[in-house]
Amino acid sequence: MELLTWLFCAIALIGFMAYNRASLSTFTISFAVLMAVGTLLDVVSFFGWFMFILVILPFNIIDFRKNYLSLPLLKAFQKIMPEMSDTEKEAIDAGTTWFEAELFRGCPDWQKLHNYPQPRLSVEEQAFLDGPVEQVCKMIDDWHTTHERADLSPEVWQYLKENKFFAMIIKKQYGGLEFCAYAQSRVLQKLSGASTVLASTVGVPNSLGPGELLQHYGTTEQQEYYLPRLATGKEVPCFALTSPEAGSDAGAIPDFGVVCNGEFEGKEVLGMKLTWNKRYITLAPIATVLGLAFKLRDPDGLLGDKKELGITCALIPTDIEGVITGRRHFPLNVPFQNGPTQGTDVFVPLDFIIGGPEMAGQGWRMLVECLSVGRAITLPSNSAGGIKSVALATGAYSRIRRQFKLPIGKMEGVEEALARIGGNAYLMDAVTTLSTGAIDLGEKPSVVSAISKYHLTEKMRSCITDAMDIHGGKGICMGENNYLARGYQGAPVAITVEGANILTRSMIIYGQGAIRCHPYVLAELESANNPNEKQALNDFDHALFGHIGFAISNIVRSKWMSYTGSRFVRSPFNDDTSRYYQLMTRFSSNLAMLSDIAMLTLGGDLKRRERISARLGDILSYLYLASASLKRFNDEGRQTQDLPLVQWAVEDSLYRTQKAIDELIGNFPNTFIAFALRAVIFPLGTWLKKPSDITDHKVAKILQTPCDARSRLGQGQYLTDDGENLLGKLETALLNIIASEPIFDKVCQALNEKLPFYQLDLVAEKGLSANVISEDEAQLLITAEQQRLAVINVDDFDNDELISATFTTKK
C-alpha cells in the first residue's frame, strides 16, 4: 500500500512540476525529497536511488550536458535546419512580439492583457474627427465619385490637402499632425463608412510609403525637404513595390538599378540607372514623388567589393525624364487612383536613395519593419469601419423593411445573418483598438498585423455578403441611394493587397509566429547560425533544455485540461466570461503542444506543409481575436447590455479554434501521432458549438433597436443626418418608424381593423377622421411613410444614362 501511495505521489509530483513549468533544479530537489521519504517508508531501494542519479545527474552537470548531449544535437540540428533566404530572415527579424506571444506559450497572463492601457484620443485628435473628418464626409458623394467622376472631386482633393489628411503620421516638427495609431484608425473607420475611395486615398499615404520611410530612415536633408511638402500636399506620394513578376513574393522583384557615373542637372555625379515596371500602385497616376523599390547592382565596384547590393528604396520625382505615370487601373468599380508606372535607364543621383548611399541594399528590412505597423492600421481599420456602418444600416433596414406583415429582422433566417454582422463588427473594432494600442505602446507587432489584415478583411467580405443577402434587390440595384454595392464590389481589393490573404494565412501568420512567438525556437535558430562555437553551444544548451521542459509541460497541461474540461483554470473574472478564459488557456496549451510536435515530426517539411501551417496560424489568430473582444468588454466597463455581442464574438472564435485543431489532427501526415493527439486534446470528441440561436436573436435585436449597446457598436461613424448622408437618414427613419408603431396600433384598434404597415399617410388620415390621434401624431406617420419609402425604394435610370459616354462619342 505504501508503494502504491508513493508511486501516486511521484506521478502527481511530476505532473504538478510539469504543469507549473518548474525549473530542472526545482524538479531535481523536489523529487530527491520524495525519494528520501520513500526511503524512510522503505519503498525506495538503493537501486531506485541509483537509477534516479543515473538519469538526473547528466542533466544537472552543466559541462557534461553541453558536451555529450547538447553538442551532438546542435551539430545534427545545423545539418537538418531548413535553409532560410535573406528576405525571410529580415521578415522574421522585423517588428516585435506582443500579447500574441503569450497565447503561443500555453499559459496566457490574462491580467497582463487587461493591464494594457485603453487607447484614448487626444483633444486635438477628437477635434479633427469632429471637424475636418466630419466635414469631408459631408462633402463626399460616393455615387458621383465612383460612377460619374471615377475620382474624388477637386474640392475634396483640395480639402484633404489643406487639412493635412495625408500627414497624420508626419511629425509636427515637419508640419504634420503626428497622430497616434489609434487616432489614425478612428479617422479611417469614419471615412470608410462614407466612401471606400476616400478611405483608401487617405489610408495609403499614411501607411507604407515615402512619409513613413523618410521619418524612420531618411537623411536629414531628405526629411527637411520632403516631409513639409508631403504634410501640406505640395507633394503627392506613392510607393511602387509590386511588379508583374513579383506580387506576394515581393523579394523577387526584377526591377533593378545599376550604379554608374552620369550627368544630372548639368553635373557629373555618381548615381544609378533605374529600370522598372510596376503595377497596382495606389496614387501613382497623380503622384509627384515616387517611392521605388528595386534591386541595386554595382558591377564596377564603385561603392565597394559587393556586386549585388540587394533591394533598395529611393525617392524619384515623377517629372524626371523617363518616368512614366498617369495611366490607371480600374479596380472593381472602386476607382481610387491606382495604376502602373515604368521607367527605363532613368538616371538619378545616389542621394535619391532613402537614407543616402549607406542605405543601399537595406530596402527589404525597411519595408518589412514599416509594414509590421502599417498593415495593422489601414486595411483592418477600413474593414472595421465599413462593417460598423453596415451593421447599423442593415439593422435599421431590417427593422423598417417588412414582408409577411412583420419586419424582416424578426425572421430567424435574417436574424442569423444579422448576428454574424453584429458580432463581427464588435470583434473587428475590438481588434483594431487592441492592435493600434500596441503600436502606440511602441510595439511593431508583425504577427498581430498579419492576423489583423487577414481576418478583418475576410470578415469584411463575409459581412458585406450577409448584408447584401438581407437587403436583396435594394442592395443590388446601384444608384445614388445604394450604400452597399460599392463595398461589395470592392471587397476583393482589400483581400488582395498588402500580402494576398491566401499567402498571409498559409505562410506568414504562423511562419513568423512560430519563430517569433515561440519562447525557444528563435534562440535555437540563432545559436545554430552563430559562428562563435562556444557561445553557440551555451545558447543552444539553454534554449534546447528550456524547449524540452516547455514541450513536456504543454503535453501535461493539454492532457490535464482536456480531462478536467479546464474547469480548474483560474479566470480573472467570476462572471459570464470566466469560462471563456478557461477554454482559451486550454487551447493556448494545445497550440503550444501542436507546434512543438509539428516542428519535431515534420522538421523543415513544415515550411512546405502550408495547410498545416495555416491551421496552426488559425488557432493563434482566433485566440487573439477572442482576447481582443474580452479586452474591449472589460475596457468599456463590462456593460451587461453588450454581453450578447461579446458572447457571439468569443464563442464564434472558440468554435473556429476547435475546428482548426480538429482539422489539423485529421490531416496530420503521421496517423499514429494524429491518433495520440486526438486522445490528448479531444478524448471525448469535439463539443463546442457555434453561437446559439438565442445569442443570435439578442445580437440581431441590438442592431434593430436604438440602445446604448447599438450606439457603442457604431461609435465614431458618420451617422449625421444632414439631409444627404444615406446612413444618417436611415438612422432617423428607424427612430421615426419605431415611434410611429404605437400610433399605428392605436388607429388599428380604434377602427377594429388590421391595416398593413404601409401607406402610413392614409393611416394618418383615418386616425384623424376617427379623432384618435393628434395632428403631431399624424404628421409623424406621414413623415415616417416618406422615410420608409426612401429606405426601401431603389434607383432607376433612363436607358441613355447607362450608356458609356465613351461609347456615345464613338457612335
- Catalytic annotation, residues: 498
Cell digits of residue 35: 525519494
| Alpha carbons 536 and 45: distance in angstroms, whole number | 41
Instruction: Identify the three-state secondary structure at position 761.
Output: helix
How many residues are there in the chain? Answer: 811
| Backbone φ, ψ for residue 587 (5° rounding) | -65, -30
Q: Is the dihedral of CA 612, 507, 447, 76 positive or negative?
A: positive
Cell digits of residue 346: 532613368
Phi/psi zone of residue 565: left (φ > 0), alpha (ψ -120 to 50 degrees), beta? left
The alpha-carbon radius of gyration of the chain (Å, integer) is: 31
Q: Are strands 267-282 and 402-403 parallel, antiparallel or unpaired?
A: unpaired
Nearest 5 degrees, angle CA 540-CA 542-CA 548? Answer: 95
| Alpha carbons 335 and 483: distance in angstroms, whole number | 16
Phi/psi zone of residue 204: left (φ > 0), alpha (ψ -120 to 50 degrees), beta? alpha
| Alpha carbons 366 and 91: distance in angstroms, whole number | 10
Cell digits of residue 521: 525556437
Please give the sequence-ordered ranges of beta strands (E in DSSP) within 679-747, or none if there are none. Answer: none
Amino acid code (one letter) for 674: A
Which residue blocks in 81-165 are alpha helix, DSSP H? 86-93, 99-104, 110-115, 123-128, 134-139, 142-143, 154-162
Which residue blocks in 692-725 are alpha helix, DSSP H? 693-704, 708-713
Q: How many CA atoms lie within 13 A of 247 on its CB side?
A: 10
| Alpha carbons 578 and 569: distance in angstroms, whole number | 10
Helix (H) or strand (E) holding 356: none
Q: Are strands 289-297 and 308-317 parallel, antiparallel or unpaired?
A: antiparallel
In contact, 303 and 360? CB cutoff 8 Å: yes
- The 3-state secondary structure of 527-582 reads HHCCCCHHHHHHHHHHHHHHHHHHHHHHHHHHHHHHHHCCCCCCCCCCCCCHHHHH
Please give the sequence-ordered ranges of beta strands (E in DSSP) within 307-393, or none if there are none. Answer: 308-317, 338-349
User: Alpha-carbon dihedral of residues 605, 609, 614, 619, nearest 10 degrees?
Assistant: -60
> Residues of 461-492 as b/e, b for ≥16 C-beta within 10 angstroms?
bbbbbbbbebbeebbebbeeebbbbbbbbbbe
Helix (H) or strand (E) holding 739: helix 726-751
| Alpha carbons 109 and 98: distance in angstroms, whole number | 12
**For residue 547, with 0-12 CB atoms within 10 Å meaning exposed, 13-18 middle and 19 or more buried, which class applies?**
buried
> Residues of 189-214 as b/e, b for ≥16 C-beta within 10 angstroms?
bbbbbbbbbbbbbbbbbbbbbbbbbb
Strand partners, 276: 343
Q: Are strands 402-403 and 338-349 parallel, antiparallel or unpaired?
A: unpaired
Give which of 89, 88, 96 is closest to 446, Cα–Cα.
Answer: 96
